Structure 1
Amino acid sequence: MSESLKKSQFPVGAHFSIANGYKSAFSDAVLIGASAIQIFSKNPMSARFREVTEEESQEVKEFKAKNDIEYAVIHASYLLNFGRPLEENSFPIMSLAEDLYNAEMLHADGVILHSGKSLTMGIDEAEDNFVANIKTVLNKTAKLKAKVIIENTAGQGTEMGFVLGDLERVFKKLGKDKRVKFCFDTAHAYGAGYDLQNSKIAEKIVEEIDNTIGVKNIACIHLNDSKKELGSRVDRHEDIGHGTIGEAGLKSFVVSLMKKATTPIPLILETPQGFDTYEDQIKKVRGWLA
């Protein structure tokens, strides 16, 4: 961490519902003291499209200007599998392209996307499909600044992208495009076998991140405890300090990451109790950064 970069500068927030509109989600974040927000830009379990309107964009812009929201990001639909071969105008391609447009309209950093599944294909084939599909989306949205943010997985089923070295390989195949960044999910990493419970190993994991995809390419952290054991290959989140990783390991990881960072890295909760416990958890995490 550079001398001019203070730990208190790192935004902390959570995932918020858009059930009552985009502005309402931002308002909910401010209400509990969050300075970072993640949302879906549409129903994540529906194949319907939903573009942000100019009016909604302006509402969010004005609200952000008056309130302390330092970072916003969109999470892509759960229905997308970019490990499959996809046509240029297929739903997954068009849905991610729309989300990137919506991110731009909502003044968000980009769109978080899971790494995809190989299904019955070989890993190499599925990975090449993923790269080709991301390139297609980047080309279709070339005029936008919003980023494609690839998230590590727990390796559940045939999920790809649970090993840092694999994410590094994908990044290289994408030419380390400046619009491609990463989201590191702590619960996913723990499920994939990265021992964040152990404070000393957590520090080494930060080194591994820096030596593969690079800490400078981490757009944000999904800060989650886990319901499952180390290496379970199962994706189940838990509230901070109430899971199998524990508060000490997560704190060690976050503090080590901040020491490496040259720009603030937002920390976003996706924990199961949701809004009811977000405020207390955000205060807890901010205490680590004091």
Structure 2
Amino acid sequence: MTTQYLVTQIHKKQSFLCVGLDTDLDKIPKHLLELEDPIFEFNKSIIDATQKFCVAYKPNVAFYEAYGVKGWMALQKTVNYINENYPDIFTIADAKRGDIGNTSTRYAKAFFEDLNFDSITIAPYMGKDSVEPFLAFENKHTILLALTSNEGAFDFQTKSIDGLELYKQVIKTSQHYLGSENLMYVVGATKAEYLKDIREIAPDSFLLVPGVGAQGGSLKEVCNYGMNNQVGLLVNSSRGIIYASNREDFAEASKNKAEELQLQMKEELQKYKKSLD
């Protein structure tokens, strides 16, 4: 999917919501456990219920790998279901891969060709030759971890090197990678005040922003600091949507939460448009 097509979908749906499919068998409604593939059946119900209100889905691969072959098959069925039934929706493999040379190329083939995801999250610690193999795939997107929401982010990401914090170094350096037009960045919603500086370094890039909802991030602040002329944001909510209920009404509850966020996003988009007039 091209960036421009994603932007078109954002304006069409008046939403930049990404729903995180972090499916945990210990948290899904108990009646689903009786089914042959409870992970996929849960995901399918969530997708059908929320697809009108979001522009992206982001399965966290660890939640599938934890269940071995069955989990991996559920992941494949999930992304196939999205691609076949809702092809206008952007898919993100939250895999946080990162290795050098041929290994990165194999990871890229696994997620871009075999599973047919539109994008993948990448840990940039090993540098250019661990990132560029992903950028070589046409109309596929590489989402670098820049500034994350977790407590340990301050261990390294905000440390200064020659007067510039590491996360800024990552963003600035990666802008010169071959294929960098297909780069996006992960920036946690709980660090929304940092978005102003990030926008100075990467004014045109899309930012994947987790942490709105259960983690306490503010959508208003994220939009205030991070929105650009192409919107430039994919705001993710996982637990707050998919676990809105653990009863038989779980899909309807997820729909209501997704619609609630979409309406807030519509309001933010309208405010931004007025500020440009």
Contact 1:36–1:266, Cα closer than 8 Å, also in 2: no
CA drift of 1:215 comes to 3.5
Describe the shift of the 1:149–1:270 C-alpha distance in structure 2 as closer, same or farther (beyond 3 A): same
1:224 aligns with 2:224: no
Describe the shift of the 1:37–1:221 C-alpha distance in structure 2 as closer, same or farther (beyond 3 A): farther
Give 1:115's match in structure 2, choosing from 96, 115, 120: 96
Matches for 1:73-152 after TM superposition, within 5 Å: 73-79=57-63, 90-91=69-70, 93-104=72-83, 105-106=85-86, 107-116=88-97, 131-132=105-106, 134-141=108-115, 146-152=117-123
Amino acid at match of 2:120: I
Distance 1:147 1:253 in 2: 24
For structure 1, which segment, 99-108 or 189-198, has the greater mean C-alpha deviation from structure 2 after superposition? 189-198
Contact 2:171–2:202, Cα closer than 8 Å, also in 1: yes
Contact 1:76–1:113, Cα closer than 8 Å, also in 2: yes
SS in 2 for 1:240: helix
CA drift of 1:210 comes to 1.7
CA drift of 1:79 comes to 3.7
Distance 1:80 1:283 in 2: 31
Which runs of 4 or more aligned residues in structure 1 lie more than 6 Å from their structure 2 counterparts after TM superposition?
Answer: 9-12, 196-199, 287-290
For structure 1, which segment, 40-49 or 91-100, has the greater mean C-alpha deviation from structure 2 after superposition? 40-49
Aligned to 2:23: 43
Contact 1:223–1:267, Cα closer than 8 Å, also in 2: yes
Distance 1:184 1:288 in 2: 19
Contact 1:109–1:147, Cα closer than 8 Å, also in 2: yes
- Provide Cα deviations, 1:222-255, integer angstroms capped at 9, x if missing partner: 3227xxxxxxxxxxxxx226xxxxx2x4311123
- Provide Cα deviations, 1:1-48, integer angstroms capped at 9, x if missing partner: xxxx9xxx8999xxxxxxxxxxxxxxxxx9xxx932222336156795
Matches for 1:1-290 after TM superposition, within 5 Å: 35-41=15-21, 43-44=23-24, 48-50=38-40, 53=44, 57=48, 60=50, 63-64=52-53, 71-79=55-63, 90-91=69-70, 93-104=72-83, 105-106=85-86, 107-116=88-97, 131-132=105-106, 134-141=108-115, 146-152=117-123, 161-168=124-131, 170-171=133-134, 176-178=136-138, 180-188=140-148, 193-195=156-158, 205-212=170-177, 214-218=179-183, 220-224=184-188, 239-240=190-191, 247=193, 249-258=194-203, 261=204, 265-270=206-211, 274=215, 277-285=217-225
Describe the shift of the 1:283–1:50 C-alpha distance in structure 2 as closer, same or farther (beyond 3 A): same
Gap regions ≥5 residues in structure 1 = 13-29, 83-88, 118-122, 153-160, 226-238, 242-246
Decide which structure has greater helix share.
2
SS in 1 for 2:23: coil
Contact 2:96–2:121, Cα closer than 8 Å, also in 1: yes
Describe the shift of the 1:113–1:197 C-alpha distance in structure 2 as closer, same or farther (beyond 3 A): same
CA drift of 1:192 comes to 7.8
Contact 2:60–2:93, Cα closer than 8 Å, also in 1: yes
SS in 2 for 1:221: strand
Amino acid at match of 2:15: S
SS in 1 for 2:191: coil
Aligned residues between the structures: 204
| Cα RMSD after superposing both structures | 4.7
Sequence identity of aligned pairs in percent? 7
Describe the shift of the 1:55–1:280 C-alpha distance in structure 2 as closer, same or farther (beyond 3 A): closer
Amino acid at match of 2:147: A
Amino acid at match of 2:146: T
CA drift of 1:272 comes to 7.8
